């Protein structure tokens, strides 16, 4: 089974709107079409950003996390610092966590810092994809 890491932008989008590929990824994880892997840092960032709009979104995210029970990874300080040599420090924990988790994909909406940077795929040892690309990849795997 494929393993996927969703960054906070994808989790936010999935909970904020019931349409779109970010939400599709959550539904796929609920149907156990791939193993969702995450980090406490990413989940907390998504909660914080969703709380700005409505506590209901946070409740939904918590429901999703409780229902899916994703595997949690916590990169070490040295792993984050190694990733920071290739990406902005704020994004280094995401790349480090994806690498440590040995995921197949890292789904993100961050065009500026993460997408379309093949060198980061080498660092993360995972495909870095938009939610639409991630859905297509996962459907091909199943």
Q: Which two tokens stand for residue 57?
A: 């979104």
- pTM higher than 0.85, yes or no? yes
The pLDDT tens digits for 17-59 are: 999 999 999 999 999 999 999 999 999 999 999 999 999 999 9
**pLDDT, the chain, mean:** 96
| pLDDT tens digits for range 119-139 | 999 999 999 999 999 999 999
pLDDT tens for each residue of 51-74: 999 999 999 999 999 999 999 999
Q: What is the CATH number of domain 3-141?
A: 3.40.50.1010
Write down the pLDDT at residue 38.
95
Cα distance between residue 62 and residue 126, in whole Å: 26
Residue 96: which of 81, 80, 118 has the closest Cα? 80
Show contacts of 55-64: CB within 8 Å, 24+ apart: 57/15, 57/16, 60/15, 61/11, 61/15, 64/14, 64/15, 64/26, 64/30
């Amino acid at each position: 089974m494929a393993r996927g890491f969703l960054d906070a932008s994808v989790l936010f989008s999935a909970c904020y709107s019931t349409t779109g590929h970010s939400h599709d990824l959550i539904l796929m994880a609920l149907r156990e079409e791939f193993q969702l892997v995450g980090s406490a840092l990413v989940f907390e960032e998504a909660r914080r950003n969703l709380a700005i709009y409505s506590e209901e979104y946070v409740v939904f995210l918590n429901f999703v996390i409780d229902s899916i029970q994703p595997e949690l990874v916590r990169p070490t300080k040295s792993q984050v610092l190694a990733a920071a040599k290739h990406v902005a420090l704020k994004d280094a924990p995401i790349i480090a966590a994806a690498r440590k988790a040995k995921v197949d994909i890292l789904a993100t909406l961050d065009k500026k810092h993460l997408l379309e940077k093949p060198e980061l795929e080498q660092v993360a040892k995972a495909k870095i994809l938009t939610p639409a690309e991630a859905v297509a990849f996962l459907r091909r795997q199943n």
